[in-house]
C-alpha cells in the first residue's frame, strides 16, 4: 500500500483535520508547545489530555530503546490492561498511531461520532492485544485512506513520498495516577512514574527533556499537546 511511505507532519493544523475526519469532536484540538520551560508551558491551554513528541531516530535512541526493552522483559513487565497501546505494523504511520494513542486513552473525556471511523476501530480493538491492534489498524482501509488524504494535503515533509524519514512520534498520557509513554515500536507502555491530570504537561515535558539530552547535537524535536478548544 502506498500509504506506508507517507509520514505525518508535527503540525497541529494537519493533525486536527485528521482527528476531525476520524470523528473526534472539535471540542479537542492539538496545539504547539513552544518550549519546555515553565514560562512556555504556562501558555498551553488546559486541560491537557496527551502530549506528543516528534524526535529524530538515531543510533543513541535505538540503543536506549533496546536496553529499555531488555530491562522490562527481565523484570517480567506486563502491559497494563487499562492502557490502550498498539504496535506499529506499517512504515511511517507513527503520527497516526500517536494520535490514536492520544484519543483512545481519553475516551471518557473525548466525544467520538457514533458512526465515525475511530469509534469503529476502537470498538473492534477493545479486547485485542497490542500486536493485534496494530494489525487491525493496518487492515482498516478507511482509516488509512483518510490518513493518506490528510497527509497528502500537508505542505511539509508529510506531503513528499520520496523524502526519507528519520523521525518518530511517541505519546504521553495520564492513566490511573501514572505517566505512560506510548510508542508503537515498543512492546510495552513505558511507566515514567506518578503524574496527575493537572501536572501531565509538566511531567511529560521532563521526559521530553531526557530525549533531547540524549541527542545534544540534534535539533529535530517538536512537541504538541491535545487540549480543550476555547
Catalytic pick among 85, 94, 101, 174: 94
Q: Scan for cell 482527528, then name that residue.
A: 19
Helix (H) or strand (E) holding 37: none
Q: Scan for cell 503540525, then name that residue.
A: 11
Catalytic pick among 20, 64, 85, 168: 168
Q: Are 110 and 25 in contact (CB under 8 A)?
A: yes
- The candidate with the shortest Cα–Cα distance to 45, out of 93, 1, 87, 12, is 12
Catalytic: 94? yes
Q: Tally Cβ neighbours within 10 Å of residue 206.
A: 14
Catalytic: 192? no
Whole-angstrom Cα distance, residue 210 to residue 117?
A: 35
Active-site residue set:
94, 168
Amino acid at each position: 500500500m502506498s500509504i506506508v511511505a507517507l509520514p505525518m507532519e508535527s503540525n497541529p493544523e494537519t493533525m486536527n483535520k485528521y482527528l476531525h475526519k476520524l470523528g473526534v469532536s472539535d471540542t479537542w484540538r492539538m496545539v504547539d508547545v513552544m518550549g519546555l520551560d515553565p514560562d512556555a508551558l504556562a501558555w498551553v491551554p488546559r486541560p491537557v489530555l496527551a502530549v506528543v513528541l516528534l524526535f529524530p531516530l538515531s543510533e543513541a535512541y535505538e540503543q536506549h530503546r533496546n536496553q529499555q526493552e531488555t530491562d522490562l522483559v527481565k523484570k517480567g513487565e506486563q502491559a497494563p490492561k487499562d492502557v490502550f497501546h498498539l504496535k506499529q505494523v506499517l512504515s511511517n504511520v507513527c503520527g497516526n498511531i500517536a494520535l490514536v494513542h492520544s484519543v483512545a486513552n481519553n475516551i471518557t473525556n473525548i466525544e467520538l461520532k457514533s458512526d465515525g471511523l475511530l469509534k469503529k476501530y476502537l470498538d473492534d480493538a477493545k479486547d485485542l492485544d497490542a500486536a493485534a491492534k496494530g494489525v487491525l489498524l493496518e487492515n482498516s482501509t478507511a482509516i488509512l485512506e483518510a490518513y493518506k488524504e490528510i497527509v497528502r494535503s500537508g505542505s511539509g515533509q508529510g506531503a513528499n513520498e520520496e523524502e526519507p524519514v528519520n523521525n518518530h512520534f511517541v505519546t504521553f498520557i495520564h492513566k490511573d495516577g501514572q505517566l505512560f509513554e506510548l510508542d508503537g515500536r515498543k512492546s510495552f507502555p513505558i511507566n515514567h512514574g506518578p503524574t496527575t491530570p493537572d501536572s501531565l504537561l509538566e511531567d511529560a515535558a521532563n521526559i521530553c527533556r531526557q530525549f533531547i539530552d540524549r541527542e545534544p547535537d540534534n535539533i529535530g524535536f517538536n512537541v504538541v499537546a491535545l487540549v480543550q478548544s476555547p
